[in-house]
A and B are shown apart, each in its own frame.
Chain A
Amino acid sequence: MSNKNDSTRRDFLKKGALAGIAAAGGMTLGMGTKKAGARALPTPEKWDAEYDVIIVGSGFAGLAAGITARENGSEKVLILDKMPVNGGNSIINGGLLAVVNSKLQKKEGIEDSVDLYLKDLLAAGQNINHIELIKTVATEGQDLAEWCSEKGVEWNPTLEHLGGHSVPRTYLTTVSSGSGIVRPLAKHYTDKLGGKLQTRTKLTGIVREGNTGRVVGVRVREGYNFNYNATNGDRGNTTGTEKYYRAKKGVIMATGGFSQDPFFRGAQDPKLSLPTDQIDSTNHPGATAEALEEMFRVGAVPVHLAWIQSGPWASPNEKGFGVGSSYQIAAGFRFGIMVDPKTGKRFMNELGDRRTRAMAMFNVIGDPDKPNYPISIADSQEGVLAAQTLEKCLERDVVLKFDTMEAVADHFNIPEAALNDQIKEYNRYVKKGEDTQFDKPIDQGMKPIEKAPFYVMEGVPKVHHTMGGVMINTEGRVIETATQKPIEGLYAAGETVGGPHGASRLGSCAIPDCLVFGRICGRNAARDKA
């Protein structure tokens, strides 16, 4: 038993390192698409069920769409999900929401603006972002914390300051997870608004009407049995019964990214084509590409598909996102420093964007077979002790606790004098309010690293987010390659959309993107005259 565990652990030490290296080198690629409707599914003779709006996917975007569609007068709204559980990635996500000009920013005296938000996202996204989309997120997302609270979401009373953001602007759910948003929204949608949520139902086709080209429904497999043992993204699974559902007003695709799809992610970056048990990801196993592929099949424009992001805050000593990532985001990177154990020196801005940090970390890790994991070192300052998952990290040996810096150096075999010099140097920057070594933004909550005991976490980047997807306009309508115009009746929101985040998404910007465009899609589909 213990042997088995050990080998599992070793496997994913290796996996994490591999995954990261593979994801570090994204390139944008073009993709050929068929002429619109060329291979469209024919309209069935008889529909098995009829709805006003059908939403595919039950994460943040799908739920926001469902709620808004109901609120805007759609009687029959269906959210379907292929998995046996609802919530997709959202329900296991970190629960971080970055919004501008929020009540908490006012309370904490933080000055922010839509322009500063855009500047941060463009810097991380290497200026290839579809700027009108993020402008919509920043502008229309300002009420999101309250919009969620009204439906039962509970937020922490203080803001987080995440990597790549100029100022603290991130709300965090009290449960440190997106489930703190998904569960209240799902309850509100089903219980208060009478919306229907149906799991184990997989989309297998989008139906476009022959003469008009309008999307009028979907083909699904009801009673779908997702195979959790599959390592190929569950391709070739034909369980369930085929049905056709009519959508009178529109189909909203809220189907997420493809971090767990070896074929499709491998097509963008061949190093990522290894099976899912060999390359670790923070995503749920259903994060696969078939719905995205179906949108391309009916003519959608592919955007930024090869930009695949690895999260720099993960731990090689647990699976997936785990408890370590939350600690590293909230405490390790903000209040601590990350050093290369071989040198005892910092090597990056701990609050830089994800892509920059991930690439710097891979350089330190080196050979995945003999990884040299960088470590974050933090002390017992208030902000660190307040990290919600610190206790769990300690229980699970994801974070280790040391009484002296000498013990840290000893445990990780770090040159002690160099490490002490580095910490002294960093502490000077904190006192001065300016980091001239790596330009880490120093905020007033940060204190010098000096108060024992010290907390140390090994770090590895893991496949986390696929920036690419279909092209939409600011109305959430999917754009067709052949006509460069919206495909009538087809909407998309969330990670399945390409463009808003450009080359690399900033942390805590996915939830506002999903919620804002989910709401836009739900509203527009419900108001559609068709």
Chain B
Amino acid sequence: MLNRDWRKAGKSQTAWKKIMLCIIFAGIIMGGAAGVLADAVLKTGVDGIDCRGCHGKNEVLPEGHAALSGMTYDNCVGCHEDAGVSMREDMLLDHVHMLHGIGCSGCHSDPEEPAAVASETCYECHGDPRAVADLTADVDPNPHDSKHYGTDLDCDLCHRLHMPSVDFCAQCHDPVDVP
């Protein structure tokens, strides 16, 4: 469900981003898994951010983790599903967005001086609050359509991009995993 959602998120981006993604994926295919081009992809993938800044020589990964060079988010998900390890617990949402081609400028109108992002920005890709609530309709109680706040809660009350997400409802209710 989440995967589908993210793919949709990628597709609904602006044209230049689509082109950029095409270039990225073409680069991966042509360059091979550990090739020079793949590293270049990580560098220029989104907003010119170089993943190797952290994931290069001093990789921020558990011991024995495969090198990230050339990996896409789908590669990450593939392995983690097989191994039964949830990646969401460890990976910040900014990384998840980046792996889908959404960099700083995808959300912040001025990435040089990033300000708090309004929920309306999230809705542009993830659908309106009703659509988001429908995605979690089978969760009881549905955090996106609660009896206290309906569909009115701002996204950032739970979902944090640059720090671990929190469970707003856990002030009173049993905590759940928040992506």
Task: State whether A84 and B154 are in contact (beta carbons under 8 Å apart), knowing that A177-B147, A179-B149 are contacts in the complex.
Answer: yes
Write out, one digit per residue, whether chain B residues 129-161 have a CB within 8 A of any chain A CB (1) or not (0). 000000000000000000111101110010000
Which single member of A183, A225, A322, A396 contacts B150 (CB below 8 Å)? Answer: A183
- Complex CA gap A243/B147 in Å reads 34
Q: Are A319 and B170 in contact (CB under 8 A)?
A: yes
- Tier of interface size on chain A: 20 to 34
- A175 — which chain B residues lie within 8 A by C-beta? 147
Q: Are A92 and B148 in contact (CB under 8 A)?
A: yes
B174 to chain A, nearest CB (A): 7
- B170 — which chain A residues lie within 8 A by C-beta? 319
Q: Are B172 and A322 in contact (CB under 8 A)?
A: yes
Q: Are B154 and A87 in contact (CB under 8 A)?
A: no
Q: Are B147 and A319 in contact (CB under 8 A)?
A: no
- A84 — which chain B residues lie within 8 A by C-beta? 154, 157
Chain A residue at smallest Cβ distance from B174: A396
Q: Are A92 and B153 in contact (CB under 8 A)?
A: no
Write out, one digit per residue, whether chain A residues 63-93 have a CB within 8 A of any chain B CB (1) or not (0). 0000000000000000000001101000110
The total of Cβ contacts below 8 Å across the A-B interface reads 41
Q: Are A319 and B152 in contact (CB under 8 A)?
A: no
A320 an interface residue at 8 Å Cβ cutoff? yes
A173 to chain B, nearest CB (A): 10
A318 an interface residue at 8 Å Cβ cutoff? yes
Q: Are A179 and B147 in contact (CB under 8 A)?
A: yes
Which single member of B116, B154, B173 contacts A319 (CB below 8 Å)? Answer: B173
Q: Are B171 and A177 in contact (CB under 8 A)?
A: no
- B174 — which chain A residues lie within 8 A by C-beta? 318, 396
Q: Which secondary structure characterizes the binding site on chain A?
A: loop
A321 an interface residue at 8 Å Cβ cutoff? yes
Which single member of B116, B152, B173, B175 contacts A85 (CB below 8 Å)? Answer: B152
Q: Are A284 and B171 in contact (CB under 8 A)?
A: yes
Q: Which of A132-191 contact B (CB under 8 A)?
A: 175, 177, 179-180, 183
Q: Are B150 and A285 in contact (CB under 8 A)?
A: no
- Complex CA gap A180/B149 in Å reads 10
- Complex CA gap A225/B154 in Å reads 13
B164 to chain A, nearest CB (A): 12
Q: Are B149 and A319 in contact (CB under 8 A)?
A: no
Task: State whether A85 and B171 are in contact (beta carbons under 8 Å apart), knowing that A175-B147, A179-B148, A228-B166 are contacts in the complex.
Answer: no
Q: Are B172 and A319 in contact (CB under 8 A)?
A: yes
- Complex CA gap A396/B172 in Å reads 13
- B153 — which chain A residues lie within 8 A by C-beta? 85
Which single member of A5, A92, A228 contacts B172 (CB below 8 Å)? Answer: A92
- Complex CA gap A318/B172 in Å reads 8
- A396 — which chain B residues lie within 8 A by C-beta? 174
Write out, one digit per residue, whether chain A residues 296-323 have a CB within 8 A of any chain B CB (1) or not (0). 0000000000000000000000111110
Write out, one digit per residue, whether chain B residues 84-115 have a CB within 8 A of any chain A CB (1) or not (0). 00000000000000000000000000000000
B178 to chain A, nearest CB (A): 13
- Complex CA gap A58/B114 in Å reads 30
- A177 — which chain B residues lie within 8 A by C-beta? 147-148
Q: Which of A303-354 contact B (CB under 8 A)?
A: 318-322
Chain B residue at smallest Cβ distance from A318: B174
- B173 — which chain A residues lie within 8 A by C-beta? 318-319, 322
B34 to chain A, nearest CB (A): 34
Task: State whether A319 and B171 are in contact (beta carbons under 8 Å apart), knowing that A84-B157, A228-B166 are contacts in the complex.
Answer: yes
- B148 — which chain A residues lie within 8 A by C-beta? 87, 91-92, 177, 179
Task: State whether A85 and B147 are in contact (beta carbons under 8 Å apart), knowing that A319-B170, A321-B172 are contacts in the complex.
Answer: no
- A180 — which chain B residues lie within 8 A by C-beta? 147
A353 to chain B, nearest CB (A): 25
- Complex CA gap A306/B173 in Å reads 29
Q: Are A91 and B149 in contact (CB under 8 A)?
A: yes
A398 to chain B, nearest CB (A): 10
A261 to chain B, nearest CB (A): 16
Which of the listed residues B147, B150, B166 has the most CB atoms from chain A within 10 Å of its own CB?
B147
Q: List 8 A-B contacts (CB under 8 A).
A: A84-B154, A85-B154, A85-B157, A177-B147, A318-B174, A319-B171, A321-B172, A322-B172
Which residues in A have some Cβ–Cβ distance to B below 8 Å?
5, 84-85, 87, 91-92, 175, 177, 179-180, 183, 225, 228, 284-285, 318-322, 396
Kindly list 4 other residue pairs between chains A and B, CB separation below 8 angstroms, not including A84-B154, A228-B168, A322-B173.
Answer: A179-B147, A180-B147, A228-B171, A318-B173
- The 9 lowest CB-CB distance pairs between A and B, nearest first, are A320-B172, A179-B148, A175-B147, A319-B172, A91-B148, A179-B147, A92-B148, A177-B147, A84-B154
